[in-house]
Amino acid sequence: MESYSPQTIELLKNEIPVDQESLLLSGDVKTGLVLVDIVNGFCTVGSGNLAPQALDEQISGMVDESVKLAKMFCEKKWPIYALLDTHHPDIPEPPYPPHCLAGTDESKLVPALQWLENEPNATLRCKGCIDGFIGSFEKDGSNVFVDWVKANEIRAMLVVGICTDICVLDFVCSALSARNRGFLAPLDDVIVYSRGCATFDFPVHVARNIKDALAYPQELMHHIGLYMAKGRGAKVVSEVSFVTK
């Protein structure tokens, strides 16, 4: 089997369906936007060991949707929390090769989002681990993300970024656990926007020729990430729109 056929992927997706809603944002419920790792090292072609090596439709679509949302949130002066994968060169993150090293372009927001660095309603947080919730802890035990939720009185959180089944999923699961324990009041809803998320692609026929490599079918793993997030208590939406006034 050289790769998963579309029929096989559809069969698997039908066995673990993810029912998705539409989200209409009006401002009546205080909503914050979280951007997970939309950095060059994961999204820009040729920008490192974990970046796409050729144009990737799912990743490009994720970036486009995230940029649209970020612009709308800034226009409305709604809060944004952007996580940037950033690693010290002497602290590895197995099983992954070196990536997004501090001080390199890999750890910077993609060009289409770099304007966020100057936006007053955007909080940028460099993180040195997969889980952005853990990566938001300071040495004194405080948590920048928790403080962001509380300071902005966020009741709903819309999450986009990469990778759906890795950094996005880990962050969502931790946020849900913290919410359930009452650590994130007044947060009620954690919402994952499916078209605003993406994962990487490592087909079976490529992995087969690399020692110890694991195949990573993009469409299937993206779906599994959404399925796991919904199973943990997140809402998954396929459309996001705004009330016009």
Which pLDDT band, with edges at 50, 70 and 90, does 2 fall under? very low
What's the pLDDT at 217? 87
| Per-position DSSP letters for 144-190, written without gaps between them | HHHHHHHHTT-SEEEEEEE-IIIIIHHHHHHHHHHHHTTTTTT--EE
pTM reported for the whole predicted model:
0.94
For residues 11-20, one letter each, b for 16 or more C-beta atoms within 10 angstroms of the residue's C-beta and e for the rest, the string is eebeeeebeb
The tens digit of pLDDT for each residue in 10-22 reads 898 899 999 999 9
What's the pLDDT at 1? 37
Tell me the percentage of the chain whose pLDDT exceeds 70.
93
Which pLDDT band, with edges at 50, 70 and 90, does 4 fall under? low
Mean pLDDT calculated for residue range 217-226: 94
The tens digit of pLDDT for each residue in 158-176 reads 999 999 999 999 999 999 9
Mean pLDDT calculated for residue range 47-57: 94
